[in-house]
Amino acid sequence: SSRVVEIQSQMSERAVELLGLPEDRACLLLDVGCGSGLSGDYISEEGHYWIGMDISPAMLDVAVEREVEGDLLLADMGDGIPFRPGMFDGCISISAVQWLCNADKKSHSPPKRLYRFFSTLYTALARGSRAVLQLYPENSEQLELITAQAMRAGFTGGMVVDYPNSAKAKKFFLCLFVGTSGTLPKGLGTECASEEPQQAKFTNERTRFRNVKGKSVKKSRDWILEKKERRRRQGKEVRADTKYTGRKRRPHF
């Protein structure tokens, strides 16, 4: 449907933007899970070259019919990236990498397949380049599994979350650096975000901090305690404070 195409195009655009490509030269990009080549169209429009790989012959047939400009390869990313070292100036992937978390065959081990994917991708990318992988994680365990294998393969970086406070628009981009630790780009729509840090760094640290005006960040424990204190002063009935007040629940993705 046109809505799906539109979302796909927006995510491709955002992924390419997060790659931070040099503006003065054409780059060669890898598109993992390229499908019918919608992301590739955007890459071509921007004046770059691309090679797309996908596990679905039917999707690649559509790409061929659409006469996309990139080269196409039928391959399973879980078997690794079959290109020579340092070949690509960047890699994007739109809603594909989470499939590696599923064991479709008895012989499939998700951690092994993820590691094979990330380690061969690391090799195929030029030093100083990036991979930006948009994905739909089912839960925080999947995110941790994916990011752990990416780190194990040598990547640095982390998760950029666009519109973290919106159920519909929230998008996860795993932004990975090869050989250089860049600064993680800011997620979109995070200017007025709550106390969640914009980037999921690879730590479980929870920071409690105050915003610019010295007020406690909305919905934080301090903020809740202050609000309850105000209500008590107004003579309203308020539940007693306990160690569970303002406790963070596990994230639902």
Instruction: For residue 185, tell me if it sits in a domain.
Output: no
Q: Which amino acid type is present at position 228?
A: K
Quick one: 50 and 104 in the same domain?
yes
End-of-domain residue from the set 153, 178, 203:
178
How much is the pLDDT for 221?
77
Block residue for tokens 């539109």: 6
Contact in structure between 29 and 3 (CB atoms under 8 Å): no
Full residue range of the structural domain in which residue 111 is found:
2-178
Residue 207 has pLDDT above 70, yes or no: no
Quick one: 236 and 111 in the same domain?
no
Instruction: For residue 94, tell me if it sits in a domain.
Output: yes
In the chain, what percentage of residues exceed pLDDT 70?
84
End-of-domain residue from the set 178, 202, 235:
178
> Among 22-31, 40-49, 153-162, 191-200, whose mean pLDDT is lowest?
191-200
Which of 52-66, 94-108, 196-210 shows the highest mean pLDDT? 52-66
Task: Annotate the chain with three-state secondary structure.
Answer: CHHHHHHHHHHHHHHHHHHCCCCCCCCEEEEECCCCCHHHHHHHHCCCEEEEEECCHHHHHHHHHCCCCCEEEECCHHHCCCCCCCCEEEEEEECCHHHHHCCCCCCCCHHHHHHHHHHHHHHHEEEEEEEEEEECCCCHHHHHHHHHHHHHCCCEEEEEEECCCCCCCCEEEEEEECCCCCCCCCCCCCCCCCCCCCEECCCCCCCCCECCCCCECCCCHHHHHHHHHHHHHCCCCCCCCCCCCCCCCCCCC
pTM of the full structure: 0.73
End-of-domain residue from the set 158, 178, 198:
178
Mean pLDDT, rounded, for 206-222: 57
Q: How many residues does the chain have?
A: 253
Quick one: 233 and 129 in the same domain?
no
How much is the pLDDT for 120?
97
Quick one: 67 and 171 in the same domain?
yes
Q: At what angle do helices 2-19 and 38-45 cross, to 10 degrees?
A: 50
Residue 50 has pLDDT above 70, yes or no: yes
Count of domains observed in the chain? 2
The per-residue pLDDT for range 100-118, each reduced to its tens digit, is 888 776 667 889 999 999 9
Quick one: 173 and 217 in the same domain?
no
The per-residue pLDDT for range 65-101, each reduced to its tens digit, is 999 999 999 999 999 999 999 999 999 999 999 898 8
- Select the more confidently predicted residue: 102 or 251: 102
Quick one: 102 and 220 in the same domain?
no
Q: Which amino acid type is present at position 220?
A: S
CA-to-CA dists, residue 166 to 18, 122, 163, 228, angstroms: 20, 32, 6, 27
Quick one: 54 and 147 in the same domain?
yes
> Among 41-45, 62-66, 127-131, 244-248, whose mean pLDDT is lowest?
244-248
Quick one: 228 and 149 in the same domain?
no
Quick one: 121 and 224 in the same domain?
no
Quick one: 9 and 129 in the same domain?
yes
Instruction: For residue 165, tell me if it sits in a domain.
Output: yes
Instruction: For residue 190, tell me if it sits in a domain.
Output: no
